Amino acid sequence: MAEKRGRTLAEKVWDQHTVRRGEGAEPDVLFIDLHLVHEVTSPQAFDGLRLAGRQVRRPDLTIATEDHNVPTVDIELPIADPVSKTQVDTLRKNCEEFGVRLHPMGDAEQGIVHVIGPQLGLTQPGTTVVCGDSHTSTHGAFGAMAFGIGTSEVEHVLATQTLPLRPFKTMAINVEGTLRPGVTSKDIILAVIAEIGTGGGQGYVLEYRGSAIESLSMEARMTICNMSIEAGARAGMIAPDETTFAYLEGRPHAPQGEQWDDAVAAWRELRTDDDAEFDAEVTIDADALTPFVTWGTNPGQGLPLGENVPDPEQLGDDSAKFAAEKALSYMDLEPGTPLREIAVDTVFLGSCTNGRIEDLRAAADVLRGKKVADSVRMLVVPGSMRVRTTAESEGLDKVFLDAGAEWRQAGCSMCLGMNPDQLEPGERSASTSNRNFEGRQGKGGRTHLVSPLVAAATAVRGTLSSPEDL
Amino acid sequence: MEPITEHTGIGVPLRRSNVDTDQIIPAVYLKRVSRTGFEDGLFAAWRGDEQFVLNIEPFDRGSVLVAGPDFGTGSSREHAVWALMNYGFRVVISSRFADIFRGNAGKQGLVAAECGQDDVELLWKILENDPGTEVTVDLTSKTVRAKDFSAPFEIDEYTRWRLTEGLDDIALTLRHSGDIAEFERNRPGHKPVTLPAAQSQ
């Protein structure tokens, strides 16, 4: 019999959801507590159910929203792009037919799938959460095991409420110390990805721990877990604590009364045991962090804002050199250029990474009484309609509009440019989103990933900047 | 899913690392509601370049893609797998695959064969020196062959079994319906539901 040792947070949540242990090479069957659905990755899954004559096993554990395709202006009009419209209409028909709750465009609870789950209180500690979207890792901020899946797996979850999976490996990301003013959780995660690389997390669940993580708000924690996938990880998790419980209490789907007490008691157990062992560990010094921006075409190609565009000749092995040369050519950047001198055409504030109310507040604080540079277009796209109405009740919309920014409706928008919000070829953006891949924000578009504070300061100065440059 | 035990086809060298899913198929091509017709979006941004490998005969007829490390990073879009298969690819060889892409490939019957980077480099040379060289991927012996070249590849054992048997994942899981129902009966009462109880099953 194997020696009994402590378990990590990830192992505890896995164990609590194992319907059946796999034998030999067979995977475990893992129960899924919450299945989030959107219009892009679900039509073929519902179609598969119909073909096989299957039902949605647990509509009461399933919720859908329209986010990837939806326009962020004129939402009272029909969607102009007929193909986008068909996809959204297909989701509506499928939800109607299979009895799935849907928050359509214009609904008060509509928004990006990873913003609405936590906002409604559906994302809870110790749950398993999946969605046909890689940024499902966001929900791990609550101590949930949350990961993106493909459409075949979406169909599998709809039909069985389970997934066949082999346990993930575990990696501790220790972030110790105190963040300096102007340094955010976005800077932490960009630094983590630059450290371990876009493939460094493959096969792992990352558990973010340490004093710097514990001091973060829930929304800041979500930003970190959101980008776990950009390090190649299956999921990212943070142990639930008082901050988590305070965020959840009173939300529409949070447990009530006695059930709340039961839940909190169970949630308090969700911590990595002292004698547990991770398969890998990485340590990041929070005191040393400064605002981080990307210069290349993958999220691992990032540096502190105070540095210069790197020289590919100085970079590690041939493959890193080759990748950097390709990236700099695509990004139209010269080695040695100070990052602060890079001029942008567009600033995008939004996405499941940084489209929550705290992100909007932070950016508004920088912009208040200032103007977006004449050369810059700034789009502010709230992550959900609820975020939008909250922001309006605080007067943030006025701050953005007075500064010359555009105040939009909720959706994924320019993070991936599936709706009309796209960069033109050759246009450069500072974006609070999660991917700087070639063409991600529009064919030929060039993306620098930044925090909301850097986004706002960049909008004012017209070049990559932090608030202290103003 | 059609069973697949061995595949032979023209190898296509794609000398790039970090081929993310936005490169495999950009978001604007994801709007179809079917599983077919995605071939036009495959590597859309690169196909405008006439030097791109798929614009060169005979690579345009290839079915075994040989790519650099970290293939399929980024989005969970299964459309990336559909686009490759709609185009005619049956196998992708790389020294490292992103997890979600690898999983999606296995569900659809696209073989994601993981080889050492040294072997990938050798394959690139063979395919570039003699365009049109056929590559054989044998799931029984877990080997890749091209001319005199032969190398082992890694694939998850369960996925290999499902691919060679052509088995539907959902049907396999539904054999355990009793276990799932039992698990559901024992779930804690404080777990969230998305619908009012009256609408729950």
Q: Which pLDDT band holds residue A317 (cuts at 50, 70, 90)?
A: confident
Closest Cα in chain A to B108: A152
pLDDT digits (tens, 9 = 90+) for A101-139: 999 999 999 999 999 999 999 999 999 999 999 999 999
Strand-strand pairing, A18-20 and A145-148: unpaired
Taking an 8 Å cut-off on Cβ atoms, the answer to whether B193 and A25 are in contact is no
Indicate the residue type of B52: F
The DSSP annotation for A274-338 comes to: TT---SEEEEEEGGG---EEE-SSSTT-EEETTSBPPPGGGSSSHHHHHHHHHHHHHHT--TT-B
Q: Give the C-alpha separation, A23 to A381, whole Å.
A: 48
Q: Give the C-alpha separation, A402 to A114, whole Å.
A: 29
**ipTM score assigned to the predicted complex:** 0.94
Taking an 8 Å cut-off on Cβ atoms, the answer to whether A438 and B103 are in contact is no
Of the candidates A87, A152, A298, the beta carbon closest to that of B78 is on A152
User: B30, B33, B86: which to substitute to probe chain A, counting the most A Cβ within 10 Å?
Assistant: B33
Q: Examine the pLDDT at A4 and tell me if it is beyond 90.
A: no
CA B120 distance to own-chain centroid: 17
Q: What is the pLDDT of residue B201?
A: 37
In a domain, B200, yes or no: no
Which letter does DSSP use for residue A433 in this model?
A: S
Residues whose CB falls within 8 Å of the CB of residue A66, separated by 6 or more in sequence, listed in order = A38, A39, A88, A91, A102, A103, A104, A105, A110, A411
Taking an 8 Å cut-off on Cβ atoms, the answer to whether A156 and B169 are in contact is yes
* Residue A190: C-alpha distances to residues A226, A336, A380, B161 (Å): 11, 21, 21, 39
In a domain, B139, yes or no: yes
CB A344 within 8 A of CB A432: no
Q: What is the pLDDT of residue A3?
A: 58
Tell me the mean pLDDT in the region A304-310: 98
Taking an 8 Å cut-off on Cβ atoms, the answer to whether B18 and A40 are in contact is no
**Residue spans of chain B under pLDDT 50:** 197-201
Residue A139, SS3 per DSSP: helix
Q: What is the pLDDT of residue A453?
A: 98
Q: Which pLDDT band holds residue A2 (cuts at 50, 70, 90)?
A: low
In a domain, B193, yes or no: no
CB B41 within 8 A of CB B29: yes
State the average pLDDT for chain A: 96
Chain A from 271 to 330: CB within 8 A of any B CB: 298, 319, 322-323, 326
Taking an 8 Å cut-off on Cβ atoms, the answer to whether B23 and A202 are in contact is no
Of the candidates A133, A229, A263, the beta carbon closest to that of B190 is on A263
Q: What is the pLDDT of residue B200?
A: 38
Residues of chain B found within 8 Å of residue A449, distances taken between Cβ atoms: none
Residues whose CB falls within 8 Å of the CB of residue A369, separated by 6 or more in sequence, listed in order = none
* Residue A175: C-alpha distances to residues A28, A127, A239, B12 (Å): 32, 24, 14, 43
Q: What is the pLDDT of residue B1?
A: 79
Tell me the mean pLDDT in the region A246-263: 97
Residues of chain B found within 8 Å of residue A136, distances taken between Cβ atoms: 76
Q: Which domain holds residue B64?
A: 6-167
In a domain, B84, yes or no: yes
Chain B from 61 to 120: CB within 8 A of any A CB: 68-70, 73-79, 81, 96, 98-100, 103-104, 107-108
Of the candidates B69, B176, B194, the beta carbon closest to that of A20 is on B176
User: A55, A61, A94, A270: which to substitute to probe chain B, counting the most B Cβ within 10 Å?
Assistant: A61
Q: Give the domains, in start order, of chain A with CATH numbers.
A: 9-165 (3.30.499.10), 169-288 (3.40.1060.10), 308-469 (3.30.499.10)
Q: What is the CATH classification number for the domain harbouring B135?
A: 3.20.19.10
Q: What is the pLDDT of residue B2?
A: 83
Q: Examine the pLDDT at A396 and tell me if it is beyond 50.
A: yes
In a domain, B181, yes or no: no
Query: How many structural domains are present in chain B?
Result: 1
Min Cα separation B64/chain A (Å): 22
Q: Examine the pLDDT at A314 and tell me if it is beyond 60.
A: yes
In a domain, B133, yes or no: yes
User: B19, B24, B28, B168: which to substitute to probe chain A, counting the most A Cβ within 10 Å?
Assistant: B28
Taking an 8 Å cut-off on Cβ atoms, the answer to whether B183 and A31 are in contact is yes
pLDDT digits (tens, 9 = 90+) for A150-186: 999 999 999 999 999 999 999 999 999 999 999 999 9
Tell me the mean pLDDT in the region A412-419: 94
Q: What is the pLDDT of residue B177?
A: 96
